[in-house]
Structure 1
Amino acid sequence: MALVPSASLVVAAPREALAGACNYAVLMARRVGGGTFAGAYVFPGGVVDAEDGPPADAPARCAVRETYEETGLLLTTPPAPGAVPPREGPFGALCARHGIAPLRPRPLARWITPRAQKRRFDTRFLLLAIRDDDRFLLGQLGSARAQPAELTQLRWLAPDEALGANARGELPLLPPQAYILHQLSRCRRWQDLPAALPPLADAERPVEPLLCRRSDGAAVALLPGDRAYGTADPDDASLFCADRAAPRLHRLELAPAAGGGFHAATLLRTAPCARPQL
């Protein structure tokens, strides 16, 4: 089954640290009830298409374009002084008409949909950390709106807040989003995010989780570096028992949510780990 190239954008913006430990929030979008990733909270994004340009540039442009199409956020260089910021129209034509260019977010991770799934994606996750002095971008945050054909809700949440809501059964997540939020929660300040990003070679190394069950029936997503990862059948790991009482764990324990995605996506990790850490 061919992998579909896609990209998702993690938009991080500064905010006051209220109940959470982080002084920034990331934009989470809830997918509509039908279709791909139904009901789960994801980062804005979609499938790479021809207008996104050559392969080297396509993931970053796709992530920015899809974020505009799904939320209305125009993550570009600002228009000329005194010009009214554009608000509608096809992304490419809008940029050309107003002389603006898409920003270039930083690569964060690359995830491959498990082989047992009917439709599989090769998704680049990229990070755009908005500075507290960027008036053009900050001025748009309050006007972000969910595109109703694909999304039902947008929420700005600190990574630790999103994980808390997930644990309470309020915010269903998929394994890539859950893992990235766990990693982001280790970085408390938005000012430190750019320096905390993995090297490009590590961000490009694909992570293909293996979905299986423990002997007690709990759902588990095994990740590279877990002692059980190399012993399960990647084409059908559904019956593999990945027991918890073992050394060298790198996995997410998952509780399926009724509408889609998973609740209580708990990350279990013991050294050594094959994946880079944010």
Structure 2
Amino acid sequence: MPADRTELVERYLRGETDVVEPRDAASVVLLRDGAAGLDVYLLRRRPTMAFAAGMHVYPGGSVDPRDREAAEHWAGPPPAEWAEAFSCDAVLAVALVSAAVRETFEESGVLLAAHQDGTLVTDTTGEDWERDRLALIEGTLALSDFLERRSLLLRADLLRPWAHWVTPEWQTRRFDTRFFLAALPSGQRTRDVGGEADRVTWLPVTEAYRGFRDASLTMMNATASTLRDLTAHPDVASAMAGSRRIRPILGRPVLIDGRLDYLYDGDDGPAPLAELVEPFAASDADPGGDT
């Protein structure tokens, strides 16, 4: 582990640092049925990024306070159901689902929305769509205004709740992230839209998880754990139909001979993640080791 990270963890363990409040965030595991089974969409973050540099991640990002306004353009399970799934209030639930839809569009070009007659959006490749996507990224356009301008409805029913990870407390940048599943809508395609990623790819879930295991793909614990769970599903329908117990996962750092590992709260008390989600071995294969 780099010396600066070791110092940060040591100072945290000695109680010498202030814990940063995590920012609410949403991340979307975009899926499709491929020739070899279930495929997942991954972005590799640029090495210059302040958070998760060089890591393979899913589309996602922080909640924009204006995301809560998208409740006026909503179709699908009501906010109360999302609030129950993620153990939060309905206002935050709206913001999380909206952020999931917005970030997916911003980072992949895929829009989980429908026209007023209920038909799904099928093509977002035009120049006018691109202008709106860039305006959303820049923050000059709110999701609610985007939906209203185009007479669209956010389709919450195209998402499924999947997991909840919180960045460890020693980190100076922290996120309280809810993970969603979504299937690639028929007629849409992902696009390499640049920005925070220097590479985007569709990979079979089993291949992506194997890449984590052999260290050929660098990932954070949350990403790899999600992939591991998805290897149990042969196709999109199976993954989207599954029910899950969702609770916050927060790793507590421990240093063993200068090496960083984490303990996670399980049903039987604190344990290494490898024991909770066998055969996951985060400390061996994940140089980031964080959410």
Contact 2:58 2:223 in 1 (8 A): yes
Contact 2:122 2:187 in 1 (8 A): no
Q: Distance in 1 between matches of 2:188 and 2:115?
A: 11
Distance 1:55 1:226, change over 3 A: closer
- Of residues 78, 102, 106, the one that matches 2:154 is 102
Match of 2:193 in 1: 146
Match of 1:126 in 2: 180
Match of 1:58 in 2: 95
Query: Structure 1-normalised TM-score?
Result: 0.72
Q: Distance in 2 between matches of 1:253 and 1:84?
A: 38
Shift in Å, 1:79: 7.6
Contact 2:166 2:249 in 1 (8 A): yes
| Secondary structure of the corresponding residue to residue 39 of structure 1 | coil
Which amino acid in 1 is paired with 2:264? Answer: L
- Of residues 221, 233, 237, the one that matches 1:175 is 221
Q: Deviations over 1:36-76 (max 9, x none)?
A: 11110111100001221031211111011011112222221
Q: Distance in 2 between matches of 1:252 and 1:207?
A: 16
Shift in Å, 1:85: 4.1
Shift in Å, 1:184: 0.8
Shift in Å, 1:96: 1.7
- Of residues 230, 239, 261, the one that matches 1:193 is 239
Shift in Å, 1:121: 0.9
Contact 1:79 1:85 in 2 (8 A): no
Shift in Å, 1:165: 1.6
Q: How many residues get paired?
A: 227
More RCO (CA 8 Å, sep 6+): 2
Distance 1:228 1:128, change over 3 A: same
Contact 1:40 1:172 in 2 (8 A): yes
| Secondary structure of the corresponding residue to residue 13 of structure 1 | strand
Contact 2:213 2:285 in 1 (8 A): no
Shift in Å, 1:129: 2.7
Contact 2:122 2:188 in 1 (8 A): no
Does residue 25 (structure 1) correspond to residue 71 (structure 2)? The answer is no
Shift in Å, 1:99: 1.4
Which amino acid in 2 is paired with 1:109? Answer: A
Distance 1:189 1:85, change over 3 A: closer
Contact 1:52 1:58 in 2 (8 A): yes
- Of residues 248, 264, 276, the one that matches 1:206 is 248
| Secondary structure of the corresponding residue to residue 108 of structure 1 | strand
Which amino acid in 2 is paired with 1:179? Answer: S
Equivalent residue runs for 1:1-278 within 5 Å: 1-17=20-36, 23-34=37-48, 35-53=50-68, 54-78=91-115, 85-86=123-124, 87-88=129-130, 89=132, 90-91=135-136, 92=143, 93-104=145-156, 105-130=159-184, 137-141=185-189, 143-148=190-195, 150-198=196-244, 202-203=245-246, 205-214=247-256, 219-225=260-266, 229=270, 252-255=281-284, 261=288
Which amino acid in 2 is paired with 1:125? Answer: F
Which amino acid in 2 is paired with 1:29? Answer: L
Q: Distance in 2 between matches of 1:197 and 1:225?
A: 19
Q: Distance in 2 between matches of 1:37 and 1:197?
A: 29
Deviates more, 1:42-51 or 1:83-92: 83-92
Which amino acid in 1 is paired with 2:99? Answer: C
RMSD: 2.8
Contact 1:28 1:42 in 2 (8 A): yes
Which amino acid in 2 is paired with 1:119? Answer: R
